[in-house]
Amino acid sequence: MNLDIYISNLKCFEPYLDTNTIFQINTDFEHTMSSSLYAYVQNKIHSNCNQYAHFTFNTAYKRDETEVIKSSNEKTDKFFNWQRPTLDKNKSDYYIFPGQDYLIHYNLLYNYWVNKLRKHTPLQNPKHIKINKVEFNTIWDNINLPNKLGNTVILGYVKAIKDLEYEEWEEFKVNKQFGYCNHLSSSVTLLGCYHSYWGDISGVLVYKLAAYGVRNILYVGKLGSLTPELKANTDLITGSLSYLKGSIIDWSSNNLCKELDLPQVRHYSLPSTMLETKAWAIKARTEFDVVDPEIGHMAQQALQCGINFGYIHLVTDYLLSENNYEGLHNEREFKSKREKVFIQLKQHLYNLPIW
């Protein structure tokens, strides 16, 4: 099948605005992960999902084992970002950390999975996806920050950053949601989170950090590329533009990373990787270079609070690759390759005006 002809027949959409066509594909081929999509979703869903024909998502942070069942798919060998939605012991209700984009993401993941198991087409039917509004205050109230924070907070791959020069940092301290440690000679805090601050959750996190007196926020993470010039598990990038809900967020004046010798890219904020269809990517790549769920939200809140924000991200995959050799479905296979990139990251970090 000729891909260009196939793509031209697919509907391109703005996922935040066009909720009726938020995601509706007939085959995995229509998604940028293609044959790897099943493996990606399988790694994300709860291990008990197959036992239930129906399910409901509740936005509540529940981890008490007397109330819920934790998924055996949780990657507990990771220091941070390993907690996933839990299942109520008495019924098919799932609990996710409150967040609008997180709710969208998990609805799409589970609808795909259930429809795939039942061999239904289309694999996602928007009529089956009921997404309630998650208020800003609800997210705010569920974020339990530690008390001792520096003037600068680094988010994301903080364990890897500490490991680069462990003698320069305190040991990690923990509360129920976060692990954190301070630099021994600068007002810089590494802040890692056990659950995922996906999408708009990350924006509220930035807002709350600013309210606690933080003036600089750096996000070190990962994202997908819409251009083949950016190499997976090799290239680090940054930027100061993001497309979010129909608007361009430009934080050039508040960009913490504006002086770094890194490629400056144009970013697209998308609420779920499940929305990265080939139709969307073909349209988005004409104006944008990379995609992830968080950067636009974080930058928007930083601008509102008058603080500095920047990101340094590792490219994990090229979305329109024909072979899907390196992607989110198998990223653990490239750990050694990424470790080399983190050595490059170290120099960029110490070129920032935060020390």
CATH number at residue 182: 3.40.50.1580
What pLDDT shows up at residue 263?
Answer: 96
195 and 114 in a common domain: no
Contact between 208 and 201 under an 8 Å Cβ cutoff? The reply is no
Percentage of residues of the chain with pLDDT beyond 70: 86
Taking the C-alpha atoms of residue 309 and residue 295, their distance in angstroms, rounded to an integer, is: 10
179 vs 112, residue with greater confidence: 179
Q: 188 with 292, same domain?
A: yes
Residue 1 lies in a domain: no
Could you give the CA distance from residue 238 to residue 67 in angstroms, rounded to a whole number? Answer: 42
Burial class (CB in 10 A: 0-12, 13-18, 19+), 188: buried
Does residue 152 share a domain with residue 89?
no
Co-location of 166 and 282 in the same domain: yes
The domain boundary residue, chosen from 134, 155, 176: 134
Q: Is the pLDDT of residue 16 over 70?
A: no
Task: Report how far residue 18's alpha carbon sits from residue 150's, in angstroms, rounded to the nearest whole number.
Answer: 41
Residues 80 and 147 in one domain: no
In a domain? residue 354: no
Residue 223, domain member (yes or no): yes
Predicted pLDDT at 217: 98
User: Contact 290/224 with Cβ under 8 angstroms?
Assistant: yes
How far is residue 49 from each of residues 110, 126, 250, 263, measured CA to CA in Å? Answer: 8, 20, 41, 41
Considering the chain, what percentage of its residues have pLDDT values greater than 90? Answer: 61
Most trustworthy range by pLDDT among 103-112, 321-330, 335-344: 103-112
80 contact partners, CB below 8 Å, separation of at least 6: 158, 159, 179, 192, 193, 194
Residue 131 has what DSSP assignment? Answer: -
In this prediction, residue 340 carries a pLDDT of: 81
d(Cα 288, Cα 58) in Å, to the nearest integer?
A: 34
Q: What is the mean pLDDT of residues 186-209?
A: 97
Q: State residue 53's pLDDT score.
A: 55
The residues, any chain, with a CB within 8 Å of residue 50's CB and separated by 6 or more, are 117
Q: Is the same domain home to 124 and 179? A: no
Residue 48 lies inside a defined structural domain of this protein: yes
- Of 107, 134, 161, the residue at which a domain comes to its end is 134
Which pLDDT score, from 0 to 100, does residue 2 have?
46
pLDDT score, position 11: 45
pLDDT for the residue numbered 204: 98
- In whole angstroms, give the CA distance from residue 279 to residue 10: 6
pLDDT in tens, 156-165: 999 999 998 8
Q: How confident is the model at residue 144 (pLDDT cuts 50, 70, 90)?
A: very high
In a domain, 355, yes or no: no
For residues 122 and 181, membership in a common domain is answered with no
Domain containing 190: what range?
139-349
Cβ atoms of 94 and 106 within 8 Å: the answer is yes
pLDDT at residue 18 in the model: 60
Q: Is the dihedral of CA 329, 334, 335, 337 positive or negative?
A: negative
Whether residue 229 is predicted with pLDDT greater than 50 in this model: the reply is yes
190 pLDDT band, cuts 50/70/90, is: very high
Distance CA 109, CA 40 (A): 9
Q: What is the 8-class DSSP label of residue 66?
A: T
- What are the tens digits of pLDDT across the range 119-143? 877 776 655 566 788 999 999 999 9
Quote helix, strand, coil % in the chain, to nearest 5: 35, 20, 45
* Residue bearing tokens 């930058």: 299
Predicted local distance difference test score (pLDDT) of residue 100: 93
The model carries a pTM of 0.91
At residue 268, the pLDDT reads 94
Question: ∠89-95-98 over CA atoms, to 5°?
Answer: 160
Q: Are 9 and 282 a contacting pair, CB within 8 Å?
A: no
Q: Looking at per-residue confidence, does 204 or 76 come out higher?
A: 204
In whole angstroms, give the CA distance from residue 182 to residue 187: 7
The residue from 79, 108, 134 where one domain ends is 134
Number of structural domains in the chain: 2
Q: What is the mean pLDDT of residues 349-353?
A: 94
Q: Which two tokens stand for residue 312?
A: 């340094």
Give 56 or 310, the one with higher predicted confidence: 310
Which range, of 47-56, 157-166, 230-239, 304-313, averages the lowest pLDDT?
Answer: 47-56
Over 60: is that where the pLDDT of 97 sits?
A: yes
User: What's the mean per-residue pLDDT of the chain?
Assistant: 87
Residue 241 resides in a domain: yes
pLDDT at 14: 64
Contacts of 353 (CB under 8 A, 6+ apart): 256, 259
> What one-letter code names the amino acid at 135?
E
Q: How far is residue 238's CA from residue 215's CA, in Å, rounded to a whole number? A: 19
Torsion of CA 73, 77, 80, 85, to 10 degrees: 20
Tokens of 107: 């609805």
- The span from the first CA to the last CA of the chain, in angstroms, equals 54
One-letter amino acid at 81 equals N
Establish if 4 belongs to a structural domain: no
Same-domain pairing of 91 and 169: no
- The answer to whether residues 210 and 81 belong to one domain is no
In the predicted structure, residue 336 carries a pLDDT above the cut 80? no
> Which element (helix H / strand E) includes 116?
helix 100-117
In this predicted structure, what is the pLDDT of residue 1? 38
d(CA 352, CA 310): 10
Clarify whether residues 34 and 162 are in a common domain. no
User: What would the mean pLDDT of 220-240 be, rounded to a whole number?
Assistant: 95
Residues 280 and 185 in one domain: yes
pLDDT band at 96, cuts 50/70/90? Answer: very high
For the residues 72-76, what does the mean pLDDT come to? 89
Confidence (pLDDT) at 7: 40
Question: Quick check: is 6 in a domain?
Answer: no
Phi, psi of 304 (to 5 degrees): -65, -30
Residues 191, 340, single domain; the answer is: yes
At residue 77, the pLDDT reads 86
Residue 13, pLDDT score: 55
